[in-house]
Amino acid sequence: MKNPVRKKEVGQALVEFALVLPIILLIFTGIIDFGRMMFLYSQLSNAVREGARYGSVTGPNPNSPQFVNCTGIRNAVKGTLAIPIPDADLQVTITYDNGKTAVTTASGVAVTCPTSGTAPNQGLITLGDRVLVKGSTKFAFITPLVSSFGPINLTLTSARTILRGGTLITLRDVGN
């Protein structure tokens, strides 16, 4: 003999599950998105810090110091990323200041590292100036509703005082 009350309870549970499932999935994808965003933030933070660290010393060749080696600083940023960000999505800006104002040329133009071409004049950068490395990228959400707002920009900056006469030693150098 079939119990009609039991059949209604099973149907009710199924309807409740169908109503709650989209909310649970939305929360779950939101948690995953938050974790992805925090990972990208942490990764970018470490990368710009490593770029500033690389650019804060003279290096082994005093005639071509690391603080004006724009390609080397950018490679230090990109080489630190655990999951590579495509070049089109990662902007690395390198500037110099003295802690208060930007280092400028005689004509008042701020000294920056060009994306390609010649390095900045190392004579303009003096002991105690800082190298500032700024990294920017976009983060796209996968969570429905939130993704409709579009990607957000993540921008982080790290600054280090330039040390003349220093050489960067990495853990790889210590191990050899």
Give the other-Cβ count within 10 Å of 91's Cβ: 15
Q: Give the pLDDT of residue 131.
A: 93
Q: Give the pLDDT of residue 108.
A: 85
Mean pLDDT by 10 residues, the chain (176 residues): 62 88 92 94 96 88 84 92 89 90 86 82 84 94 85 94 68 55
Q: Give the pLDDT of residue 8.
A: 62
Distance CA 15, CA 85 (A): 44
**pLDDT tens-digit map of 50-84:** 999 999 988 787 778 888 889 999 999 999 998 88
State which H helix or E strand residue 10 sits in. Answer: helix 4-54
Task: State the residue for tokens 């690391």.
Answer: 66
Distance CA 29, CA 138 (A): 19
Q: Are strands 130-139 and 91-97 parallel, antiparallel or unpaired?
A: antiparallel
Distance CA 100, CA 97 (A): 7
Phi-psi region of 125 (alpha: psi -120 to 50; beta: other; left: phi over 0): beta
| Residue ranges per structural domain of the chain | 4-165
Q: Give the pLDDT of residue 130.
A: 92
Q: Give the pLDDT of residue 157.
A: 95
